[in-house]
Amino acid sequence: MLSGENILYFSADDWGCGLSTSQTHIARILARNNRILYVNSIGLRKPEIKKSDFSKMINKFNKFSKGIKKVENNIWVFTPLVLPFYNKEWCTRINTQLLINLIRYQLKKLKMKNPIFWSFLPNTVRLIGKFNESRVIYYCVDEYSAFDGVPTQAIQQQEREFIQKSDLVFTTSRELYERKKPGNPNTYYCPHGVDFAHFNKALKNNLMTPPDIQSIPHPIIGFYGLVESWIDVELIAQVARERTDWSFVFLGDIRIDISQYQSLPNIHFLGRKRYEDLPAYNKVFDVAMMPFIKSELTRNVNPIKLREYLAAGTPVVASPLPELGSFRDVIYLYENKSEFITMIELALKNNGPIPVEERLKFIAKDSWEQRLEDISKIIMQR
């Protein structure tokens, strides 16, 4: 495993945001043997005039005003302030100089010299070469230019430049690998890992059922994660109207208008849950669903939740994203509403001890530790 390094770590997710993403998992494992300055997200899109974005801006300012914070052993978190006009050249220049000065100060304060420049964000490209970094790593987990509200052409250009300047590029899906490799021969496919021991707790008998799901009738078809534009809630509503004996449960922040679905008695939106509590909810799910809408964004993703569902022993019904082809033997894939219903019926019927063991055996090898060992070998070889 990589050790003895200083790492300047640009995340797309803020530390402590309530989500446990690939970026927090990787940072925690790296921090066992390295020192990390974890820079909270500088964002990709300008904020809209709505309560959630305003709250996010206030939260950012509060974190910035408190300065650098040690959150765990070997991990220091810094929240920079930047101007949110990402498609303006003048703004980019100002933000770049601001970030250079702020981060140099924090690195000096922590006595971190020659850090590895490790970024999940393509719009950090103009910071490359400003910190006497020993290596540059681009860790690509999404097709960022396909997100709603981002300056698509600017992000595409920044990413092309970042890939060319990187010593190493890691991608979490095969689709991303095929797209990024032409820009840098040192590009590697490295899928997500899973906190197997944590989610495997769902199979323990002593795990208590969360109060807010106790009274919901079975069978329960569950989902956790952001309820965003790429989640096919309309499909779920159509099926819920037909199969009134099934309960559909969503856990996570809501980023779309769900008012038209709240009158359906068998669809339940329970809000975001703590990472620590997810195994208890998985235990209650009779089936886990991944109803992704097909788009430029989703065809490049490799959902972490798939591995988490499988580590909990839960049968999974999912839309056929390209990255899920290798899971075909242990999950149920559907193309349309009729197949979605059929696959849920099959999953409910076949969820015995043998299928559970097959799911666990398939996913047990995919630990985050193993992923970081693979990555570390590549970094040290280079």
| CATH at 110 | 3.40.50.2000
Mean pLDDT, range 90-102, rounded to an integer: 84
Same domain, 218 and 93: no
Q: What is the DSSP string of 218-269?
A: SSEEEEES-B-TTB-HHHHHHHHHH-TTSEEEEES-B-S--TTTTT-TTEEE
Residues 192-214 pLDDT 10s: 999 999 999 999 988 899 999 99
Mean pLDDT, range 215-240, rounded to an integer: 96
Query: Phi first, then psi: what are they for 190, rounded to 5°?
Result: -140, 95
Closest CA to 287 of 231, 222, 228: 222
| CB proximity list for 286: less than 8 A, separation 6 or greater | 218, 219, 220, 221, 315, 347, 348, 351
Same domain, 153 and 221: no
- In this predicted structure, what is the pLDDT of residue 96? 86
Higher pLDDT, 4 or 61: 4
Same domain, 126 and 273: no
Does the residue 286 lie in any domain? yes
Same domain, 231 and 137: no
Same domain, 216 and 187: no
Same domain, 49 and 154: yes
Residue 18: pLDDT above 80? Answer: no
Residues 245-261 pLDDT 10s: 999 999 999 989 999 99
Does the residue 1 lie in any domain? no
Does the residue 44 lie in any domain? yes
Same domain, 21 and 91: yes
Same domain, 68 and 206: no
Same domain, 157 and 10: yes
Total tally of structural domains belonging to the chain: 2
Residue 244: pLDDT above 80? Answer: yes
State how far the Cα of 270 lies from the Cα of 254, in Å rounded to an integer. Answer: 10
Domain that holds residue 128: 6-193+367-381
Q: Is 72 strand, coil or helix? A: strand
Does the residue 247 lie in any domain? yes
Q: How far apart are the first and last CA of the chain?
A: 14
Same domain, 157 and 306: no
Same domain, 176 and 308: no
Same domain, 340 and 308: yes
Residues 285-342 pLDDT 10s: 999 999 999 998 899 999 999 999 999 999 999 999 999 999 999 999 999 999 999 9
For 289-322, the three-class secondary structure string (H helix, E strand, C coil) is EECECCCCCHHHCCCHHHHHHHHCCCCEEECCCH
Question: Which of 8-17, 178-187, 211-220, 238-247 is the least confident region?
Answer: 8-17
- In this predicted structure, what is the pLDDT of residue 89? 73
